[in-house]
Structure 1
């Protein structure tokens, strides 16, 4: 038999069931309904539903068949007019469960039903009862293999599919690894994976992250409408119409096999906490990719959820948040604490919208994993069971879970990576770099006038010997730019050789000898500052003394002395190549002048004194 596609809707008095049976004979069909049981048969289609409310046969029931669409539309009166039937969009839970042929599971079903009925009578569900990790040692003694999966109902799966699951989960050999050891290995792997440079890069350069944070998924608008409807009508059931399932999602629910889960109190708590962990990872994926799926979507969800990647069993909501926050800052492309907060707020809104919104998200995760080659195994371990289990869950349980999640807090200090200290140190480094850049900018602004002053002092040093500061700046400048001074120096020497002596020294009758003495003293200092051999210094001192005596003579004596001194310095200044060589070796203008002709040096320095 084929289970047909179907939809259910309701109004105040009737329950409407639309059944799609293409190519069926309209004249050959049977319908049976009584209380909460509904049956439909039209060869080869068969449908049996367990309704969330009671219906009656009082003559008001109607049925019609659309030949073009191939659909039956059946209207059934409600036993209590105005009663609201909850969960009509939970198609898997409406399908009658398969009856087992064994007596043992049947007894377990009765016990499970009794336990569930007692649990449903509880007004509030405390999610924070157990704060200490559960000790797995007694269980490990009884069971040779450790359990995992939805409600810890699976074991031995990884021994049979180790090659396929090695790329899906991070833990090795989970069948032989207890829960506390899984947690220890997970924390060590996260600590080794955390990259401070990557975190600080996303912390300071967060343009892309701020962009994705502005994205609004479908549940944000649905949550706003829910709040508005609750303020107006004060009826919670009206919010069920805010979540609409596509035809693909409905078909996906019809393919699930309806079954019950026998979970004790501890296992149920772990299932709820695992649901939060999976929803947080899904919310992160939707936010960073702005609702678009890509080849990394499957990896993001299973990597950020420790429930899926490490088969983690949490004991409190705080542990779930800390685990998710650590993994966000270790593994994905965008590692920003703002994304952790955003996923946290989105998960709260999804839980407040009820099980229809949670189921829609789980169906989307199921589709993502189904289309990914290694990740489809996670559907068999977790997601398929979650999709079936959530349809039978009571809305007040999810409401209590959302309240507990909303009251929980998560700070950067809880993650164990010293994020606040890291950020403070990075801010200090950034401030120091800004100060250095500012100081560099000020120095660059002062460089042009400094260069011009140096250039001026260099020019004045070649023409005036009375300015000591000009001479000092000339020495500094000549030591830093030797090659640039050699050519200009040779030209100066050539000009001085051809010029009259009286024009070079610039002295005239009636000039005081004090200027000559100053020039003599400066020349001695300049010569002593160079590395000229001792014999050369003595020779230069004799020639300088001769120059001083000549400077005190009348102009006629100067002309005669000019010829004598010209002959003495003929050999030293006649070789420009040697002068250039000495200049290159010493790199000092004063040395070149001293080695060629000290009198010419004095002339060039005293030229402007007249």
Structure 2
């Protein structure tokens, strides 16, 4: 079945669903409404939507098909007139399945003995049918093969690593040695290293790539970097967020998944989101929001959970509460700062600070702005021959998580993002926390420049 393109709108009394299904017979349309669940089937299309409130089919409801445009317009009446249906533009949320309610599989009826009268059992057995007799006779025969105690398992040195969104993925880097994956820092051992080993590899690689002369050169001649810092991101000046047709198509192609993260996993997702948005902010600011062929490399290189499969938290005192402390936020950004000073073209601590401010503003503007940033990153990586893998194991699920679960619970509401954005805005990342003696290098270059100015003055 094919999920068709669709859009939703509403009036005070109705919800209108416009479905693009060209070259079909209107007589074959099957529409079903069950509370807040709407389903439509017309070969070869199938659409099932979960709305936030209930709908009904009555005399005011209608379905009209326009063969000239290929659109089927379904008008359904709201069960409560005047009730607002939220997030009708979040298509992935409408397509997401209903949350599963997990109930006990076994119910204890009574703890008393169930022994019965033997004569009664004989009577019931004689009353069994022929088929039931055959089942009992087969059960009396010993059909089992001789059983032996299995030998102890040989200890295995390595197991397949789990990584990506909620550690749901493995096997994507089995043949990474035969691809041109320049951002992979784990080599052919990406599928076997533990999280601690990955983190150690990441820190070691950052220290090896750090070049103090490169940093000093950008610090001394920072004219162009100051121009990058003064640039304003267009997403921060838009009055509203209206998704384009291309973005709507991207939403329709997102996977249909249900997530049940634990408390620590939810914390890790929030923290990972900030690091991903930092990489996006750096690339957008350095390219003036006009991605280049190097954008995919930049985004993956600056994101620890991509290049080193090392997601946060990086703070040793993380707790299970959703409220994130300022120390934990600061520790989360330290690897992003380090990578922005060791890998890309422009290496400036002031530029990294500006990118963190961008992340805070994205979060403060709400989930629609965050979702748009993630979709832009996804579009960049999806069109790369190698780095598309990071879109599969991270960005696809992050897009669904930020949209489809926006208000199923308070897990990803605008209020939560506002608190997170304020925490990112108020975070303090010191140069000493980066670990490369940045302050000493900056003081040395400032003293050198001062001495050169004094010599020039004496010559004059």
Which residue number corresponds to residue 4 of structure 1? 4
Which residue number corresponds to residue 352 of structure 1? 364
Which residue number corresponds to residue 386 of structure 2? 374
Asked if 2 retains the 8 angstrom alpha-carbon contact of 1:61 and 1:77, the reply is yes
Which residue number corresponds to residue 377 of structure 2? 365
How far off its partner does 1:160 sit?
Answer: 4.6
Which deviations, in whole Å up to 9, do the C-alpha atoms of 1:308-334 show, x marking residues without a partner? Answer: 111112123222211111111111111
Which of 167, 185, 201 is equivalent to 2:182?
167
Return 5+ residue gaps in structure 1 as ranges.
99-107, 113-139, 226-241, 442-610
Q: For residues 142 and 386 of structure 1, do their structure 2 counterparts lie closer, same or farther at Cα, with a shift above 3 Å needed?
A: farther
Which residue number corresponds to residue 418 of structure 1? 437
How far off its partner does 1:161 sit?
Answer: 4.3
How far, CA to CA, are the matches of 2:157 and 2:185 in structure 1? 26
Classify the secondary structure of the residue corresponding to 1:111: coil
Is structure 2 residue 264 aligned with structure 1 residue 273? Answer: no
TM-score by length of 1: 0.60
Q: Which runs of structure 2 are paired with 1:165-564 in the superposition (5 Å)?
A: 166-172=181-187, 173-222=189-238, 225=239, 242-315=240-313, 316-391=328-403, 392-393=405-406, 394-395=412-413, 396-441=415-460
Query: How many residue pairs end up in the alignment?
Result: 388
How far off its partner does 1:146 sit?
Answer: 2.9
Which residue number corresponds to residue 519 of structure 1? none
Classify the secondary structure of the residue corresponding to 1:38: strand
Asked if 2 retains the 8 angstrom alpha-carbon contact of 1:49 and 1:94, the reply is yes
Classify the secondary structure of the residue corresponding to 2:53: strand
Q: For residues 181 and 273 of structure 1, do their structure 2 counterparts lie closer, same or farther at Cα, with a shift above 3 Å needed?
A: same
Q: For residues 352 and 142 of structure 1, do their structure 2 counterparts lie closer, same or farther at Cα, with a shift above 3 Å needed?
A: farther
How far off its partner does 1:376 sit?
Answer: 0.8
Which residue number corresponds to residue 33 of structure 2? 33
Which residue number corresponds to residue 50 of structure 1? 50
Greater mean deviation of Cα atoms: 24-33 or 157-166: 157-166
How far, CA to CA, are the matches of 1:147 and 1:45 in structure 2? 35
Which deviations, in whole Å up to 9, do the C-alpha atoms of 1:541-573 show, x marking residues without a partner? Answer: xxxxxxxxxxxxxxxxxxxxxxxxxxxxxxxxx
How far, CA to CA, are the matches of 1:43 and 1:157 in structure 2? 35
Which deviations, in whole Å up to 9, do the C-alpha atoms of 1:219-240 show, x marking residues without a partner? Answer: 2113xx4xxxxxxxxxxxxxxx
Which residue number corresponds to residue 466 of structure 1? none
How far off its partner does 1:143 sit?
Answer: 7.8
Which entry has the higher C-alpha Rg, 1 or 2?
Answer: 1
Q: Which runs of structure 2 are paired with 1:46-85 in the superposition (5 Å)?
A: 46-85=46-85
Is structure 2 residue 127 aligned with structure 1 residue 111? Answer: no
Q: For residues 178 and 292 of structure 1, do their structure 2 counterparts lie closer, same or farther at Cα, with a shift above 3 Å needed?
A: same
Q: For residues 96 and 153 of structure 1, do their structure 2 counterparts lie closer, same or farther at Cα, with a shift above 3 Å needed?
A: closer
Greater mean deviation of Cα atoms: 355-364 or 284-293: 355-364
- Tell me which stretches of 4 or more aligned residues in structure 1 moved more than 6 Å: 140-143
Give the CA RMSD over aligned residues: 2.5
How far off its partner does 1:296 sit?
Answer: 0.5
How far, CA to CA, are the matches of 2:213 and 2:96 in structure 1? 55
How far, CA to CA, are the matches of 1:352 and 1:35 in structure 2? 34
Classify the secondary structure of the residue corresponding to 1:329: helix
Classify the secondary structure of the residue corresponding to 1:435: helix
How far off its partner does 1:343 sit?
Answer: 1.3
How far, CA to CA, are the matches of 1:82 and 1:142 in structure 2? 63
How far, CA to CA, are the matches of 1:165 and 1:274 in structure 2? 25
Asked if 1 retains the 8 angstrom alpha-carbon contact of 2:279 and 2:298, the reply is yes
How far off its partner does 1:192 sit?
Answer: 2.4
Is structure 2 residue 172 aligned with structure 1 residue 157? Answer: yes
How far, CA to CA, are the matches of 1:427 and 1:73 in structure 2? 68
Which deviations, in whole Å up to 9, do the C-alpha atoms of 1:410-449 show, x marking residues without a partner? Answer: 22222112212211111111111122222233xxxxxxxx
Higher relative contact order (CA 8 A, sep 6+): 2
Return 5+ residue gaps in structure 2 as ranges.
104-154, 314-327, 407-411
Asked if 1 retains the 8 angstrom alpha-carbon contact of 2:181 and 2:387, the reply is no
TM-score by length of 2: 0.78
How far, CA to CA, are the matches of 2:81 and 2:214 in structure 1? 61
How far off its partner does 1:261 sit?
Answer: 2.1
Which residue number corresponds to residue 24 of structure 2? 24
